[in-house]
Structure 1
Amino acid sequence: MSGYLFLVFVFSCLSITAADLYHGPETADSHKVDKDDFVGRHHGESLSKFITRVLQPNTEYLDKCGRTINKVAELMRSKLVPHKVAATIKGGSLGKGTAVKQMADADLLFPLGGISSVKELSVKLPEILKTLQSALDRSGHKVTSIKKTPFTIQFLISIDGVLQDVDLLPIVDLGIQHPTKENLKTIYTEMKKNENLRDYYMKCLSFLQVNFVKQQPPKVKSVIRLLKYWIKTKQHKLKSYGAELLVIKAYEDLGSPLSIREEDLAINVFGKLTDLRSLKVSWNKYFDPKNFNVPSAPYILDPACPYHNLIRQKSGGIDDKYVYLERDAKKILNVLKDQDYRSKRGEL
C-alpha cells in the first residue's frame, strides 16, 4: 500500500427550491400540467426536451463550479497544508457527468504523503482535520459555518462572490491503479475482518464509484438527472449515489440498448421505486455479494463496497420516509405511462 493520503473535497450549491430550478418561460400550456408531473415541465413536453431545458447544466454554471474546485485545490496544495500533494481526481456529480443545474457537487481526491495504511489514517485523522481547519482559517478566503464530523470538515467558502458548501475528507491511496476482483480481494478481506475500519476503506474506494457511473451513456445520465431532480423537488431522502445506481440497474435490466428513449428508462426506474419490498440492486464487478452478508430487501448495494446499502432500512419493515417515496413514485409512474400512451397516439 503506497504512502499517500487523499483529500476529497465535496462541494455543492446552496439549498434551493423547486422554483429556483425552473427557468422556462410561462405560456398558456405551461399551466396545463398534472400536479404529479415533474415541476416546471410544460404540457406535452418530452422528457428529453425537459431535461435539456431545466436539468442540463450549461457551460457557464460548470465553469463556475470548476473555478471553485480549482481555488480550493490550490489552497490544499499550498504551504498552508503540510503534506505533499500529487495528482487530483475529480468525483461527485461533476466528475461522474451527472450534475443537475444548480445542484452540482464535486469530489477532489488529493494524494498526500505521510499515511501508509487505513489503520494509521483512523488514528491520525482527528489531527489531520485540525491541520486542514487551520489552513482554512489562514487562507484569506471568507470561510464560515465550519463544522467537523468524524471524517470531514464542512464549511461555506466565498470565492469570486460565489458561496459554496465544501466538505474536506482525507483518505488513503490504496495503491490500486487498475482495479480487478483479484487485486481488490485483499482490501475486502480486511474490511470483513475490521468492522471499525470499514467506513475508512469505503471512502478510499470512492474512485471506483466515480468510474462506475462515469462510464454510463448520455441517456442514462439524463435520466439520473431526472430522478435526482424529482427527489429534490419532492424532498425525498434517497441519496444521489443511490439514485445513480438505481438508474444504471434499470438500464441494464432493459438489456443496455445502444439507443433508448428517456421515457422507457424513466418508466422502468420509477416502476422499481413503486415496490421497495422487492428492490434488490447489486453487482459483482469488484466482489461477489454472496460472499458477504447481503441485507434483506430493499437494498441498493454499492458496487465498490459490500457493506454500503444506499437504501438501508430499520428492522421490521419499510421506513416512513420510503413509504412516501413509494407513494409518489406510483403517481409519477402513472403520469409517465399516460403521457407516453397519448404521445404515441398523437394526442400530445
Structure 2
Amino acid sequence: SGKRLSHTRLPAPLFMTPGHLLDKFIKDFLQPNKDFLDQLHRAVDDICTFLKEDCFRHSTTKVQKVIKGGSAAKGTTLKTGSDADLVVFPSTLQSYTSQRNERDKVVQEIRRQLEAWQQKTQFEVTFEMSKWKAPRVLSFSLKSKNVNESVDFDVLPAFNALGEHPQSPVYAGLIDLYRSSDLPGGEFSTCFTELQRNFIVSRPTKLKNLIRLMKHWYKQCERKLKSKGSLPPKYALELLTVYAWERGSGSESFDTAEGFRTVLDLVTKYQQLCIFWNVNYNFEDETMRMFLLAQIQKTRPVILDPADPTGDVGGGDRWCWHLLAKEARQWLASLCMRDGAGNPVQLWNVPEFPDKGVFCIHNEPPPPSLNLS
C-alpha cells in the first residue's frame, strides 16, 4: 500500500503478561521515550518562563510563581494520554474567593497572550491549543514530532495560599470557607499543587513505575466502564499505591507483581479504607483536629489528599468503587498474579482496618480521646 510500517511494537495486553515480566512491560510500553521527555521539559520550562515573566508584562498583575504539577512533574508520565498542570499564581488572586470569582478573566488573558507567543516561538515539540474554550481552564498539548507520544497540559490560575512558606501550610481559612459554604472538597487543591507533587516526586523510581502500571490498569477499566458510572479519580489509586508500598514494603527494590496484587486487593476492600497522612497537617491544631475527626468518620472509602485535608478522593458513595472492585477481582485471577513458575505472587502484609476505629497512617496515632464506636 506504499505506507511505511511503524516499528513500534504493539503492547502485549497487560492481562496476559506474567508477573515476572511486568517490569519489562512497564519499560517497553508505559515509560515515555527519554528524548521526548527531555524535549518536553525544555518546552515546559520555556512556557513557564513566558507565563512568569512576559504574560502580564503590559498589566499591573505580577505572577508570583508558576508550579508544575500532574504526572509530568511527579515523574509518573505514561507514553500517551498523560496530563500535567501548570499552576500560575497571579498577584490579583488574593483569596480562595477571588480565585473562584476572577479565575475566568485570568484564563482568558493568558489564552490571548499564549496564543500570540506560541505562534512566533519555535518548539522541538508540536504545540496545539485546545479548541474548547473552557472558561475555568486553558488546555494545550505538546506532541513529539518523531514518536507517537504526547502530554496534555492545563494552565490553572490559583491563589497563592502557601505564600512564602510551602513547608508549613496554613489551612484555617480553607477549613472555615469549607464549613460555611457548600463547596465540594478539594475545590482549591490547585493551591497545594506543590505539596501534591512533593509527596510523590521524592519516592523511589520503582514505586513511580508501579504508579504508572496502576494508571495504565485504571485507563483500561475506564474505557470499559465509563458508560456504567463514574469511577473514583485516578489520584485515589495513586495514593492507594503509595499507601500499599509504605505499609507493605517500603523497599526500593520490591517485586512489582506483589505490589500490583496488593493494590488491587485494597481496591476490593474499598469499604474498609480510611487513609490519611500526617505530613502536611495533623491533630495538634485544635481546628484541624476537629475537622479531621469529622472527615475520617465519613462513609468509607476515605482517602484524604495529603496536600489538602478537604479533598477526600475516596469519596464514600460519591463514585462507583464497586465497579472498580469487580474489575480488580477479575484481574486477581490474571497471569499478572503468577510468577515465572506459575505460582501465585505474594500479597504484601498491609494492616487490616479496624471496624470502628480509625486507620491512621504515618507518624503518630490519632489522639487517645478518639473513640469512634
Range into which the TM-score falls when normalised by the shorter chain: 0.7 to 0.9
Does structure 2 retain, via aligned residues, the 8 Å contact 1:231–1:238? no
TM-aligned CA deviation for residue 311 of structure 1: 3.6
- State the partner residue of 1:8: none
What is the TM-score of this pair, normalised by structure 2? 0.70
Measured in 2, the distance between the counterparts of 1:233 and 1:65 equals 25
Tell me whether 1:166 sits opposite 2:159 in the alignment. no
Measured in 1, the distance between the counterparts of 2:142 and 2:31 equals 25
- State the partner residue of 1:296: 299
1:118-155 Cα distance to aligned partner (Å, 9 max, x none):
33333322322232232244335363413224x32335
Measured in 2, the distance between the counterparts of 1:271 and 1:90 equals 32
What is the TM-score of this pair, normalised by structure 1? 0.74
- State the partner residue of 2:233: 239
SS state of the match for residue 105, structure 1? Answer: strand
Measured in 1, the distance between the counterparts of 2:64 and 2:41 equals 19
Indicate which of 244, 265, 277 corresponds to 1:250: 244
Q: Which moved more, 1:209-218 or 1:96-105?
A: 96-105
- State the partner residue of 2:113: 135
1:220-239 Cα distance to aligned partner (Å, 9 max, x none):
11110101011112325343
Q: How does 1:223-234 map to 2 (within 5 A)?
A: 223-234=210-221
- State the partner residue of 1:274: 268
Measured in 1, the distance between the counterparts of 2:22 and 2:143 equals 35
- State the partner residue of 1:119: 97
SS state of the match for residue 62, structure 1? Answer: helix
Percent sequence identity over matched residues?
A: 24
The verdict on how the C-alpha distance between 1:330 and 1:144 changes in structure 2, with shifts beyond 3 A counting, is closer
- State the partner residue of 1:57: 32
- State the partner residue of 1:9: none
Q: How does 1:2-41 map to 2 (within 5 A)?
A: 23-24=8-9, 38=14
Measured in 2, the distance between the counterparts of 1:329 and 1:101 equals 23
The verdict on how the C-alpha distance between 1:336 and 1:238 changes in structure 2, with shifts beyond 3 A counting, is farther
1:233-266 Cα distance to aligned partner (Å, 9 max, x none):
2325343322210100111221523442112211
SS state of the match for residue 248, structure 1? Answer: helix
- One-letter code of the match for 1:130? Q
Measured in 1, the distance between the counterparts of 2:10 and 2:31 equals 16
TM-aligned CA deviation for residue 67 of structure 1: 4.0
TM-aligned CA deviation for residue 337 of structure 1: 6.9
Tell me whether 1:104 sits opposite 2:64 in the alignment. no
Q: Which moved more, 1:232-241 or 1:245-254?
A: 232-241
Measured in 1, the distance between the counterparts of 2:252 and 2:152 equals 37
Measured in 2, the distance between the counterparts of 1:144 and 1:111 equals 22
The verdict on how the C-alpha distance between 1:340 and 1:159 changes in structure 2, with shifts beyond 3 A counting, is closer
CA RMSD of aligned residues (A): 3.4
- One-letter code of the match for 1:146? W
TM-aligned CA deviation for residue 86 of structure 1: 4.7
Structure 2: runs of 5 or more not aligned: 1-5, 120-127, 226-230, 283-290, 345-373
Measured in 2, the distance between the counterparts of 1:92 and 1:103 equals 12
